[in-house]
Amino acid sequence: MITPLHYAAQVDDESNLADFLYVCPSSMEDLTVKGETAVHVALKKGSLKAFKVLLGFRRCFDKERILNWEDEEGNNALHTAVSVNQPEAVKLLIRDIDINRKNSKGLTALDIFYDRQGSLDTAVKDILLAAKVKTAPISL
């Protein structure tokens, strides 16, 4: 179950996405049944154009906090971008997000990279390390 905004983000339809946001900027706060924002959906589907539209509208309509919103697994936009191997999105998110926030499993974005490093681009790691993203302390 998704909204039209989520669908436009999913299929990388930047024109309709912009129209939806212009008419109803608060729709950026709508969530799927999995607690995902349109930002989460765009990242998971590799919809980079839609992601960039969402970033732009977020700034215009004072929705800065949306990037730190967590889905049902506690993943914010940075966790999601790392887990789906989106280096350009990671680079865009680094300056606007709590880079060391942990998800519900206690993992930071860098932990997620190390957990899945065989299937992820090393550019993601380089971006995270340059931004000084930390790993979560190991609890005994």
Report pLDDT digits (tens) over 27-61: 999 999 999 999 999 999 999 999 999 999 998 88
The closest alpha carbon to 89, from 16, 27, 39, belongs to: 39
The closest alpha carbon to 54, from 42, 44, 65, belongs to: 42
pLDDT of residue 140: 47
pLDDT of residue 1: 72
* Structure confidence at residue 116 as a pLDDT band (50, 70, 90): confident
pLDDT of residue 9: 96
Q: For residue 64, what are its two tokens?
A: 């800065």
Longest CA–CA span in the chain (Å) reads: 51
pLDDT of residue 139: 60
The CA distances from residue 106 to 33, 102, 103, 118, 119, in Å, are: 22, 5, 5, 21, 21
* Structure confidence at residue 117 as a pLDDT band (50, 70, 90): confident
Angstrom distance (rounded) from CA 10 to CA 41? 6
Which residues, at least 6 apart from 130, have a Cβ–Cβ distance to it below 8 Å? none
Query: pLDDT tens digits for 61-79?
Result: 878 899 999 999 999 999 9
Architecture of domain 4-130: Alpha Horseshoe (1.25)
